[in-house]
Amino acid sequence: MRWLGAHWNALRLALRRLAAAPLNTLLAALGIGIALALPAGGALLLNHVTAMTQGMPATPQLTAFLAVDAERKTALAAATRIRNLPGVARTQLLAREDTLARMKSGALADAIGVLPNNPFPDAIVVTPADSINEVPAAIEQLAATLRQWKEIEHVQVDADWARRLAAFVRLARTALLLLAALLGVGLVAITFGTIRLQLLTRRAEVEVSRLLGATDGFIRRPFLWHGALLGWLGGIAAWLIVAAAILWLRLPLAELAQLYGFDLLLALPDAAASAALLAGAALLGWLGALLSMRQFLRGME
């Protein structure tokens, strides 16, 4: 109980010190919030993009198109022949009637409706085996083999763009972690400087407390709470900045994504992400205050 009482008194003292200088507190919290808003907003956007691309095929596939006037038995025979090739895991025949029905339900329905005949050929989707799907040269060799068949008019290697997008997401995640680390160090530096100024203005108070027998833990406690509260306020500022940016950019980003056939609707951070942001900000503020206190007390000794 004495430990809780000591922390409660230190918390009240830190709150009074923050309230005694509202402008300084506001500017410090805003600086921390801007520093945290960049990685927090980037992480939120990256999570949306990752969720949007989870259903996309990352394994390269080959699509072999037959002639438009090819008979169905020719397509079935070609699919069986492809399935027996080394390095092929499975094949799937896409009937031209199914492709026509799918296209009529899309944006090109009016244009396709005026055509006298079905313009789409039968297609065979080829999924390579795991032994070659990571080797681009082997996949291209398989595509070259299919292009030599007389019943195959065109071969297209699919999902390369999905692999490039996955690589871009991995690069963006790494860059985001680096940015978060750098800005986290900046947050610690901001708190370090703020607590350092507090200590310099209260140096006489700290010296008197030491003369009266106060321990370093007793002296350190209010300043640690000060740093944690300052970081927590910066986390709130970061959340508000991210929320304002989401509400401002939600519709333009959704319209841009629809032009490329994606559904991207930004949502506000959920409870877990918000709690992690506030807790992380408070922890970094506490760390900055701890480093500042350690250096100050060591210098007094």
List pLDDT tens digits, range 147-167: 888 888 888 876 566 666 667
Cα gap 84→145, rounded to integer Å: 13
* Burial class of 235 by CB neighbour count within 10 A (0 to 12, 13 to 18, 19+): buried
**For range 273-293, the mean pLDDT:** 88
Q: Name the residue ranges covered by the structural domains of the chain.
A: 2-55+163-300, 61-158
Is residue 118 pLDDT above 70, yes or no?
yes
Is residue 69 pLDDT above 70, yes or no?
yes
Is residue 103 pLDDT above 70, yes or no?
yes
Measured CA distances, 230 to 187, 205, 285 (Å): 10, 21, 6
- Would you state the pLDDT for residue 237? 92
**For range 177-191, the mean pLDDT:** 84
Is residue 35 pLDDT above 90, yes or no?
no
Q: Which numeric CATH code is attached to 61-158?
A: 3.30.70.3040
At 216-237, the pLDDT tens digits run 667 778 888 888 898 899 999 9
Measured CA distances, 44 to 38, 40, 67, 85, 133 (Å): 10, 6, 46, 44, 31
Place of tokens 């300043």: 223
Tell me which range, 191-195, 243-247, 250-254, 260-264, is most confidently predicted by mean pLDDT: 243-247
Banded model confidence at residue 300, pLDDT cuts 50, 70, 90: low
Residues 6+ apart with CB under 8 A from 211: none
Local structure of 157: helix, strand or coil: strand
C-beta separation of 70 from 151 below 8 A: yes
Long-range contacts of 154-158 (CB under 8 A, 24+ apart): 154/64, 154/65, 155/62, 155/63, 155/64, 155/65, 156/62, 156/63, 156/65, 157/60, 157/61, 157/62, 158/57, 158/60, 158/61, 158/62, 158/63, 158/125
* Residues listed for the chain: 301
